[in-house]
Homo-oligomer: A and B are copies of this chain.
Amino acid sequence: MSRIDGRTPDQLRPITIERGWSKHAEGSVLVSFGDTKVFCTASMTEGVPRWRKGSGEGWVTAEYSMLPRSTNTRGDRESVRGKIGGRTHEISRLIGRSLRAVIDYKALGENTVVLDCDVLQADGGTRTAAITGAYVALADAIAWAQGKKLIKAGRQPLTGTVSAVSVGIVGGTPLLDLCYEEDVRAETDMNVVCTGDGRFVEIQGTAEAEPFDRTELDSLLDLAVAGCASLDAAQREALAATL
């Protein structure tokens, strides 16, 4: 059985990671997972939030947002409604936790990195694309800070790499990296965040229609781990290029 866009069940969409997309940000990436496009900037500043001052440790946080017409029908701006929706909050927190999983706060020193992930075009998997792209922007911002001596010589705040992918069961078949149409029809939907060494940072699986059993869970995890390995390779390739 072939998928809507002709992929095999274990195949990612075309992945692109373009660095240097902003002249202002310390790190910036336009990441695409097929038609999903997310603009990630990493803003690094000296100093930390008040509750962390004097600790000698840094902080990393993230904010996710969708442009109003990133989706098929236009959504209201959260700034106009005057409050942030639950989904936005949830994804911003997920991105922040995922990146903090590979940060050594002591090595970062009292510096703060804010990752802004703005979805320019959505076609499923915006949060996983955001995490994958934000990692690269973060790496660039840290390299910038090392160049500026904001981070002490010989210290490496990054303890590993991190990427994320969605998996799901559609029509009984486990699939990797769902596009929007697949996502809508999925019986089960899972987002998996892995480090480059194949361990888990976050697993969020939800039965949309029917509860899932242990066997289904295992096949989804297998797909996700393999997918993250490919994303890890794409991140390394992108970072290997000269900016």
Are A24 and B69 CB-contacts (below 8 A) given A199-B212, A207-B202, A211-B195?
yes
In angstroms, how far is the closest chain B Cβ from the Cβ of A154?
23
Complex interface: chain B residues within 8 A of A71 (CB): 24
A131 CB–B CB distance under 8 Å: no
A237 CA / B237 CA spacing, docked (Å):
38
Residue of B24, B43, B73, B82 near A83 (CB, 8 A) is: B82
In the bound complex, do residue B86 and residue A83 qualify as a contact, i.e. CB atoms below 8 Å apart? no
Complex interface: chain B residues within 8 A of A204 (CB): 203-205
- From A1-9, A10-18, A52-60, A113-121, the one touching the partner chain is A113-121
A72 CB–B CB distance under 8 Å: yes
Complex interface: chain B residues within 8 A of A89 (CB): 85-86, 89-90
In the bound complex, do residue B207 and residue A116 qualify as a contact, i.e. CB atoms below 8 Å apart? no
Residue of B74, B202, B213, B221 near A214 (CB, 8 A) is: B221
In angstroms, how far is the closest chain B Cβ from the Cβ of A97?
6
In the bound complex, do residue A74 and residue B213 qualify as a contact, i.e. CB atoms below 8 Å apart? no
Given contacts A22-B69, A24-B69, A74-B114, 5 further A-B contacts (CB under 8 A): A65-B77, A74-B116, A77-B79, A200-B205, A200-B211
In the bound complex, do residue B24 and residue A121 qualify as a contact, i.e. CB atoms below 8 Å apart? yes
